[in-house]
Amino acid sequence: MIGKKPQQVHMVGVGGSGMSALAEIYINMGIRVTGSDMSDSKKIDVLKAKGITFYKGHSSHNISGADLIIVSSAIRPDNEELQEARRRGVNIISRAQALANQAEGKNILAVAGTHGKTTTCAMIGCIFVQASFDPFIALGGEASFLSGNGCYGSGKWALLEIDESDGSMKYFKPNCLLITNLEEEHLDFYGDINGLIDGFSTLANQTVDKAGFYCNGDDENMQKVIMKTGCKWISCGLDNISDWMAKEIYLEGMGSQFSLIKNGKFVSKISLQVPGIHNIRNALMAAAVCLDLGIDLEIVCNSLATFETVKRRFQILGQVNGILLVDDYAHHPTEIVASIEAARQLGGKVLAVFQPHRYTRTAVFQERFASSLALADEIALLPVYSSGESPIQGVTSENIKNNLLKNGKDRAVCIEHNQIDNWLKQVGRNGDIALFMGAGDLNKTAKEIISNEGFGK
């Protein structure tokens, strides 16, 4: 723990998913919280209702009274609030450091990985709550069972979603670790896939219980992590022989079902009300770790059967003119494929609306974005959402469209936000699914279309 318990915390970039979860935890602890960000959001409104003092925009005056500054990884070092904190000698720590500090003294169950960590973590959290664990939870998305994305429970377990994007995994020493999968991502920080493998290997080697490492048995890159660690791993898979397996998989509509197998023996049928093969994998890992922790099988099954999707993870927003609007956080080629395949379960054409997130990511994945999006019937591409990055020459949505054309996919257009509703009116029909994908602000446009109760209004 860094220093004594703060009296007032100021959070720079409080609107982010990880920062807002931490803000909720501090509020639960009875600590005064102030925070700043460049824009308002519904999440900010929730935090304000819970007692946070929010400042729109950054100013040196915002940190008044704070004895601890917590900074998001998205904030630049020359931010004026950070400069003022340094001038005053106020302690500044990262979000990851703050989260590790708050979880100190508890048994940490960390969930990491390129895809699915938010949903897997939320599934485990739902089970923990139903099992009366009274857990400390920090999620990267809002879950209905929490009415938010963080809580400070008095139980012995801390359930943490670990962000790999900036190398901050090094601050955590979990008692139990789940790695959902590992794929090329955040190469602007890690350089290449080997750097990413090294980062996850460091986290695995810091696991306190060397028999508490759960991994995806179907993931080739996970095998490379395992070779670099001294941990005994527990594998969870669908294809390769694993310790825990999902078999007899049935997918239909907004639900799915599978048989849970441990060491070749049937354990139970698991039913879900979230779609997609990726959610089978998420539920498999959640069930495996919770059952190994001794949680009753009936609690595990019932919790998963009633689990509601995390916000922005294949979240049904509503219907307009017979077209179902779905909001999904997919911003990586693999996630796009998973989301389109899940949409296929619902029937109708899939109308993909995609907003690339960050220039650095788009530069790496322009061709793969095209091959993934090609699975949809109609495709609308929005301009790249910068997330604070400077533009990179030649990195545009137009290039993704050109790659689609090379692959023979001529049903793609580049449009602006205010053109989406007219595009849907032109290409959509009753029973189709409009799938809004991206980690930027595209979901706001989707909600506006719902609010207007029709297209072209």
Q: Which residues are catalytic?
A: 117-118, 161
To which H or E segment does residue 37 belong?
A: strand 32-37
Q: Which amino acid, 238?
A: L
**Those residues with Cβ within 8 angstroms of residue 285's Cβ, 6 or more apart along the chain or in another chain:** 120, 178, 180, 214, 216, 236, 244
**Residue 434 CB burial class (10 angstroms; 0-12, 13-18, ≥19):** buried
Contact status, residue 261 vs residue 238, Cβ threshold 8 Å? no
Q: CA-to-CA distance for 78 and 83, rounded, in angstroms?
A: 6
Separation between Cα atoms, residue 178 and residue 273, nearest integer Å = 23
- What is the token pair recorded at 162? 């670990």
3-state secondary structure of 235: strand
Cα–Cα distance, 373 to 380 (Å, whole number): 10
Assess contact for 275 and 307: CB atoms under 8 A.
Answer: no
The β-bridge relationship of strands 91-94 and 148-151 is unpaired
